[in-house]
Amino acid sequence: MRWGMLINLVKCAGCYSCAIKCKQEHFLPPGVMWGRILVSESEGKLPTAKRNLYPVLCNHCEDPACVKVCPTGATQQREDGIVWIDPDKCMGCRYCLIACPYQVRSYISEDEKEYFPGQGLTDFEKIGKKLYPHQKGVVTKCNFCMEIIDKGISKGLKPGEDREATPACVNSCPNKARYFGDLDDPSSEISVMIREKKAVPLHPEHGTEPCVYYVIG
């Protein structure tokens, strides 16, 4: 069992749903993103130059660079491949932040940040502190909606197939560009799609064996 994700860039229209939904689902503070959209332009001249638009997130690598460097063991990897951070153990040294070749980790600063600066916390932010609190002075990143997956499995549901057990970003995509499933199962929808659509991970040369695949088209 190794959880992986596939993002079909032919279908993606860059609507930011995944990035914003992730923030909403996890009550992430201002300035912190677990998923983000990278936009740039390729080399080349008009009109054959291309725009690059990549939704990126933690790749939950098979051989994660972050786990290797963590001095406290806060960053760790589960049997099913999910790389997660125990905030109680994290001391905020940010070594992992630098070690990650994909730069998908963020640091939650000590300052209290408000979404409407100077106007107090909204009810949304206040409820967030109860439902999904974040410690300050620690590193944070995408955890493949670990809590949703685990709860779903305990109810007998299948992550990637049953909405209630599936990461929020996958459900939120209006173009059905995101898929989630077991990379170790060659007959899973995601494994089939990787083969048929020749999906590739980003920067395989980093050698961390990422588990997020992209259909480039």
Residues 113 and 111: their CA atoms lie apart, in Å, by: 6
- Binding-site member from 73, 103, 112, 124 for other proteins (CB under 8 A): 124
Q: What H or E segment, with its residue span, contains residue 54?
A: strand 51-56
For other proteins, the closer CB: 79 or 196: 196
Pairing mode, strands 212-215 and 200-201: antiparallel
Is there binding between residue 160 and other proteins (CB under 8 A)? Answer: no
**Of residues 59, 83, 127, 213, which one binds other proteins by CB under 8 A?**
127
119 part of the interface to other proteins, by CB under 8 A:
yes
Min CB(175)–other proteins separation in Å: 4
Minimal distance, residue 178 CB to other proteins, in Å: 9
Which lies closer to other proteins via its Cβ, residue 41 or residue 79?
A: 41
Query: Which is it for the CA torsion 19, 24, 29, 34, positive or negative?
Result: negative
Q: Which is nearer to other proteins, 76 or 171 (CB)?
A: 171
Query: CB 105 → other proteins: shortest distance, Å?
Result: 16
Among 16, 15, 18, which Cα is nearest to 171's?
A: 18
Q: Taking CB under 8 A as the rule, does residue 79 contact other proteins? A: no
Residue 205 C-beta: closest distance to other proteins, Å: 25
Strands 3-8 and 212-215: parallel
Q: Which of 76, 106, 93, 56 is nearest to 211 (CA)?
A: 56
CA 111 from centre of chain: 24
Residue 145 corresponds to which tokens in the numbers above? 């909606």
Site residues for other proteins per CB under 8 A: 8, 10-17, 19-21, 23-25, 30-31, 33, 36-37, 39-41, 44-47, 49-51, 53, 115-117, 119-120, 122-124, 126-128, 131, 163, 171-177
